[in-house]
Structure 1
Amino acid sequence: VIIFIWIGYEQWNSNISVLMLSKNISVQKYSFLFTISTFEIVIFQPLLRPVFKSNFENERLRVVVGVFMFALSYLIILDATTYWRFILGITVLSIGDVLALTTIPALINRYANDNNRASIQSISSTAGSVGRAIGPLAGGYMISQTNYNFTFIVIFVGHVMLLPLLLLLKNTSKHIN
């Protein structure tokens, strides 16, 4: 799950810049997307935290909604030719980031005990690193073999296919909540 999330996310950090340049949207505007995203994450994180209490069901819900938001961000930029569509796409991605990426470590921690906590968290961290490492390459390969729209649809479908798996997660934690 984590690997695929990061493969998709890395398209924003790599291949979307080329797409925007091909649509005559400047590098400066592409770079500004990440200023917008950072600002949104700083704003959204404290606003969304009180909405979800810290328990298994809420953490799972946050990850599910976050992964869905990631998926939606790729649909938003299908055939995008204007800057506002990329702004909307990265805004939806930022909400997904706040919901899913900040919650995954807490959710994973519920499956750990004192004997394996470090190992489980390191596997999670490694999965993120693998996704970040292969994301630009995998996306670039798919784009060069097909096109941007097909690649974004594949990433969208992949994220949607993760949702039932996430919904199947069971609370095996010894935590009361």
Structure 2
Amino acid sequence: MQQQTGMPAKWLFAGSFLANTGTSFIWPLTTIYLHDTLGKTLITAGLVLLCNSLCVVLGNTVGGYLYDRWSHFKTILVGSFIVIGASTFLMFNNGWPAFPIGLVMLGFGNGLNLTCINSFATEVKNQRTSYIFNIIYFMSNLGMVIGTLMVGYILPYGISRVFAVSTVLFIIFGTIVVCFYRNHEGEGANISHNGHGDSLPKPAKLTPDKLWPLFLLLFNIVILWIFYEQWQSNIATFMVENGLSIKHYSSVWTLNGVMIVLIQPFMTYFDEWLMSHLHMRLYGGLSLIGASFLVLIVAGNHYFLFLTAMAILTIGEILVNPAASTFVNNISPMGQKGRFLGALASSISFGRALGPIIGAVVIQYISYTSLFVIATICIWLSVLSFAGINKHYLR
């Protein structure tokens, strides 16, 4: 079968937008729906979210392996079928235990799709990969902003309507995959299509001088998301305990989305310069995220300081997330892009899975202030170790 080389960027961006919009219809209401509608405890809701995140990790890992060793197109096709099936299932079955069952299915499918989209970015030939990662990051966040905004208007009409809209979005995503993602196996595919089933030579192994920097980056990403996840779980309670409202908390996330949508295009415009300073971009972004928790220590009931902390966090996030994908792509050998980009996605999901539990334990047995101090120290120490390893190996 004749292969095309070069993934059409516009359809990759459209896929990222639709997949993330469809997902963002679901995750904001999970805890509220489980607790307020299905009558489950917050611990049960936390365990369901943990299972969902672990299934995303599994999907990331399996997706990376299948992308490299089986088929790029077939892997993301399977992922699109799973999310369509899971959201359709939830549209008609959203009680207990159907809801968590559908949610973990959705998590696995999303894990496959996320890894494949990031891996397909390495197959775009007419643009720098770092530029493609920047646009994918922008489109994914735009989808999340639109999805979380729309769900507030649709939810009053019933949970089934929410899943119906997400199903439609996933169907459109699947249609784009079928029409435009086929025949883009690229140079990194490890299974030939000559009709005889012969395998291409095994991909090169990652050498120790690249393995350690990659390992430290993934460790940094896990640490980052353990504490970033506090904003999506425990900080809401912290704000309420300090006399602020849920509306205040919601508007903090509005600031996050608006900043990403407005600032990311400027980051993309200066992509060439940022690419030449990739390591400093990572160090600076991670350090800013750590610094944002210092602001929370003194925030108290001052709403402006929560906005300030979120602004610092968001700038760090904008610097780090696309740069991490570029770093992994640059350092991973040909034929293993899916595997290592899948490992990056797994690190994010794993950190998100651990975050609420670790935060709750620290808060219960020590304090919120201790959590924020620990967050800053852990992030800054991990950045220093990452910088030291890079200086030693990547000269």
> Counterpart of 1:23?
242
Q: Which residue of 2 aligns with 1:96?
A: 316
In structure 2, what is the equivalent of residue 80 of structure 1?
299
**CA distance in structure 2 between the aligned counterparts of 1:79 and 1:142, rounded to whole angstroms:** 18
CA distance in 1, matches of 2:371, 2:320: 22
Matched residues in 1 for 2:308 and 2:274: separation? 29
CA drift of 1:164 comes to: 1.8
Please state how far the C-alpha of 1:110 moved relative to its aligned partner: 1.2
The worse-fitting range, judged by mean Cα deviation, of 146-155 and 46-55 is 46-55
Instruction: State how 1:120-139 maps to structure 2 within 5 Å.
Output: 120-139=340-359
TM, length-normalised to structure 1 = 0.91
The alpha-carbon distance between structure 1 residues 110 and 171, as it changes in their structure 2 partners (threshold 3 A), is farther
Residue 117 of structure 1: CA displacement?
A: 1.2
Kept in 1: contact 2:274–2:281 (CA 8 A):
no
The question of 1:2 aligning with 2:257 is answered no
Q: 1:78 to 1:171 in 2, by over 3 A?
A: same
CA distance in 1, matches of 2:294, 2:322: 23
Provide the secondary structure at the position in 1 that maps to 2:333: coil
Structure 1 position 41 matched with structure 2 position 260: yes
**The structure with more radius of gyration:** 2
After superposition, the Cα gap between the structure-2 partners of 1:146 and 1:52, relative to the gap in structure 1 and judged at 3 Å, is farther
Instruction: Return structure 1 stretches of 4+ with deviation > 6 angstroms.
Output: none
What stretches of structure 1 of length at least 5 have no aligned partner? 173-177
Task: State whether structure 2 residue 336 is matched by structure 1 residue 116.
Answer: yes
Deviation of 1:9 after TM superposition, in Å, equals 0.4
| 1:69 matched residue in structure 2 | 288
Q: Shift of the alpha carbon at 1:51? A: 6.9
User: 1: CA distance between counterparts of 2:271 and 2:222?
Assistant: 27
Instruction: Count the aligned residue pairs.
Output: 171
| Correspondent of 1:161 among 381, 386, 389 | 381
Q: What RMSD in Å do the two structures reach over aligned CA positions?
A: 1.6
Give the residue type in structure 2 aligned to 1:86: F
Give TM-score scaled by structure 2 length. 0.42
Give yes or no for contact 1:60–1:166 (8 Å, CA) kept in 2: no
Shift of 1:69: 0.6
